[in-house]
């Protein structure tokens, strides 16, 4: 099973983000936008995990203690390939990234054996919410996206919320996109 750790986005924030995502959709670019119900902030992607490894993962992560995190998301951005073709459109954190990075670092260390087995490298945490993946990219499409992101950032809303837990999800790939199943919730609460 494919597993990942993530932070959920509150429903009221998703509804407000819908307007900004609709602005991007109007560009008519070859992009698959993430369904609102699937919006999340990934802390760590584990990849394929055997059923018998699941309990060990949960037990390691249950040891983590940290207070809730206040975050804000403001501007849109993108990840590009080496040729500077835009591949991912995202909305990034303007507050709280350092605190979430410490959660991500713990998850990496706790799951290093699985990451190595799956030949996954752990990149430094970049707090972002993926809103779309470009299906067909080229210079012209990338330039259009970059221009639209600049325009959209002038009107983008600052979205603030409190993260009180993170989750372990199972991801199943289907012809209609990924489907997520909640495996376990881990609370963020003040250390005792």
SS (H, E, C) 64-85: CCCCCEEEEEEEEEEEECCCCC
Non-local CB neighbours of 175 within 8 Å, separated by 6+ positions:
none
Catalytic pick among 19, 128, 167, 176 = 128
Distance of CA 175 to the CA centre of its chain: 21
Gap between the Cα atoms of 162 and 24, Å rounded: 26
Residue 115 vs residues 108, 119, 125: alpha-carbon distances, Å: 8, 6, 15
Of 77, 83, 91, 189, nearest in space to 139 by CA: 83
Both structure tokens of 187: 């609370």
In the annotation, is 128 catalytic? yes
| Coarse DSSP helix, strand, coil percentages of the chain, rounded to the nearest 5 percent | 35, 40, 25
Catalytic pick among 19, 40, 167, 176 = 40
CA angle centred on 13, ends 12 and 16, rounded to 5° = 90
Gap between the Cα atoms of 21 and 108, Å rounded: 31
For the annotated catalytic residues, the residue numbers are: 40, 128
């Amino acid at each position: 099973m494919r597993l990942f750790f993530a932070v959920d986005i509150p429903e009221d924030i998703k509804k407000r983000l819908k307007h900004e995502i609709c602005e991007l959709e109007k560009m008519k670019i070859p992009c698959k936008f993430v369904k609102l119900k699937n919006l999340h902030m990934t802390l760590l992607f584990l990849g394929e995990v055997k059923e018998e490894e699941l309990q060990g993962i949960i037990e390691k992560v249950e040891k983590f203690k940290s207070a809730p995190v206040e975050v804000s998301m403001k501007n849109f951005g993108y990840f590009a390939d080496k040729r500077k073709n835009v591949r991912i459109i995202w909305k990034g954190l303007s507050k709280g990234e350092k605190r979430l990075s410490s959660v991500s670092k713990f998850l990496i260390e706790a799951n290093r054996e699985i990451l190595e087995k799956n030949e996954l490298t752990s990149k430094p945490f970049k707090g972002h919410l993926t809103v779309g993946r470009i299906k067909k990219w080229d210079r012209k499409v990338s330039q259009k996206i970059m221009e639209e992101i600049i325009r959209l950032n002038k009107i983008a809303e600052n979205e603030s919320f409190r993260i009180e837990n993170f989750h372990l999800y199972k991801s199943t790939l289907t012809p209609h996109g990924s489907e997520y199943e909640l495996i376990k919730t881990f609370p963020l609460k003040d250390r005792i």
